[in-house]
Structure 1
Amino acid sequence: MGKFSDRPDIEAAAQKVKPAIGAKREIAHLPTVLWEGEAVDMLATGQYGGGVGLVALTDRRLLFLKHGILSQALEDFPLGNISSVQWAGGMLMGTLSVYASGNRADIKSVPKPHGEALSARLRAVIAAPPAAAPVVAPVPAQDVASRLATLDQLRVAGAITDQEYQERRAAILASI
């Protein structure tokens, strides 16, 4: 099958699932709805909200995209809001149920192998402990006071403008 996207992450995900006819339009439109720096992990096709479209798992969210000629739809579920995932498969297709923020979204007619893989990956992602926030050492008060005094001396000497003084002062105070 031909190339789906110029983006390596989207191309790799699309090649794994060989999406059904009709999903090429969504794959082509996918880069326009991704956030800056967001990477696509997995793709699948499915039916949601009355339309057939593309299900994309990224490093930040699960999204459903339908980009038809007459109608478009986009719904996303930030990974931090997803509390659980269920997969119910038949012989060929299945339903991926996503529970997020107290709501349930059923994405139907997902090809069985893609749905099983997507649900397993989602479970692994939501089960992983959140990344620890970096520990920032508090700025000693003496250091802040000396920085403010130096900044004031620069303003009095005319080395910086009043606007630069205000901006830098605000930055120093925000570091506390």
Structure 2
Amino acid sequence: MAKFDIRPDIDAAAERLSNTVGSKREINKLPEVLWEGETVDMLATGIYGKGNGLIAMTSMRLIFLKHGVMSQQIEDFPYSKISSVQWQGGMIFGTLTVYASGNKAEIKQIPKENGKALADKLRMHLAQGSTPGAASAPASAVPGQDIGSRLATLDQLRAAGAITDAEYQDRRAKILDSL
């Protein structure tokens, strides 16, 4: 696996990628497109529009970045504008469909393990009404979701690799403290 020395959050997310082929340039350019205070939570590779690029799930938005020699493409989806996401996995790759502000964006050829984890984590944050970098919502702020289902969702995210063991323990403690 390629090693990067960009920023701790980007380096950690890049280390979890199953493959960085075709995305090294985008990983190196990622700090240039991030907003002040924005941190990277997860990365994946995929094809959107006319090329292969990088998908970054940050503390504020979902970004698709393609930085080629002749052209660049940046498309972002602020979490407040995303209404839902859909993951369709195949044997090796899958497609992430993002529904935002009445539009539909399909990012294809995402490696299955990275794409499913990203979709699961994004779906969890949308359901909780929080952004990935924000603290977990208290139980009373998650309508229709009891403690048992929140713990089950948390277990699924850890099993899918969408969150680390440390994040799991921290969020589990917060859920149990809300009792």
Instruction: Report the Cα distance in structure 2 between the residues aligned to 1:36 and 1:98, rounded to whole angstroms.
Output: 24
Paired amino acid for 1:48: Y
More displaced stretch, 41-50 vs 10-19: 10-19
- Deviations, residues 114-152 of structure 1 (Å, cap 9, x unaligned): 110010011011111358xxxxxxxxxxxxxxxxxxxxx
Residue 40 of structure 1 is matched in structure 2 by: 40
Q: Is the radius of gyration larger for structure 1 or structure 2?
A: 1
Residue 109 of structure 1 is matched in structure 2 by: 109
User: TM-score w.r.t. structure 1 length?
Assistant: 0.72
What is the total number of aligned residue pairs between the two structures? 131
Q: Which structure is higher in RCO with an 8 Å CA cutoff and minimum separation 6? A: 2
Residue 54 of structure 1 is matched in structure 2 by: 54
Residue 19 of structure 1 is matched in structure 2 by: 19
Paired amino acid for 2:51: G
Query: How many Å apart are 1:51 and its aligned residue?
Result: 0.6
What secondary structure does 2:91 align onto?
coil
User: TM-score w.r.t. structure 2 length?
Assistant: 0.70
Q: Is the CA contact 1:5–1:27 (under 8 Å) kept in the aligned structure 2?
A: no
What secondary structure does 1:17 align onto?
coil
Structure 1 residue ranges (4+ consecutive) displaced by more than 4 angstroms after TM superposition: none
- Deviations, residues 58-101 of structure 1 (Å, cap 9, x unaligned): 01000000001011100000011100000001100010000000
Residue 96 of structure 2 is matched in structure 1 by: 96
Q: Is the CA contact 2:94–2:111 (under 8 Å) kept in the aligned structure 1?
A: yes
Identity %: 61
Gaps of 5+ in 2: 135-179
1:62-81 paired onto structure 2 within 5 Å: 62-81=62-81
Instruction: Report the Cα distance in structure 1 between the residues aligned to 2:5 and 2:30, rounded to whole angstroms.
Output: 9
